[in-house]
Amino acid sequence: MKKIGLLLTAFVLFSSVIYGQHKRAEIMERVESRKIAFLSDKLELSPDEAQVFWPLHNSYQEEIRGIHRSKDARRDFMNDDYDHEAALEKLIQTEEEELAIRKEFAYKFKDAIGARKTILYYHFERKFKEDLLQELRERRREGAGGLK
């Protein structure tokens, strides 16, 4: 009888974790769709530019996400036992890797869509993030939560 109870509890916990991950992926997909629509509107890419730009954009985003995923996930840096020296070295290394990726893709974007639209891309990408954060803050204040 205990085994059945443990199995049932494990199943419920596992199901909620799976549901939470699915929900997060769904939200991230909606955010990415909104971002693509926002950037498409702002950049006014020609069909030829779009054909070259969007695969580059996707590669850039994936490489940046990979760098962020590799960061030390531990958040207990206030603890005296935390290896602050190693964490600082890892932070510097990660920042250098991210800068190298940004530089590499800046030149690729420039070759694909020109310097002007590359600058606009970075500007509007940052603007989208700022607007999204502002929207989330407002929803939290209103108690709504989530994204539409």
Predicted TM-score (pTM) of the model is 0.72
Which pLDDT tens digit goes with each residue over 76-88? Answer: 666 777 788 888 8
Query: What is the C-alpha to C-alpha distance for residues 9 and 108, in angstroms, rounded to an integer?
Result: 51
80 secondary structure, DSSP code: T
Residue type, 80: D
109-136 mean pLDDT: 96
Q: In the prediction, which pLDDT does 2 show? A: 57
Which of 102, 100, 92 lies closest to 71 in space, CA to CA? 92
Coil/strand/helix, residue 111? helix
| Domain locations along the chain | 32-142
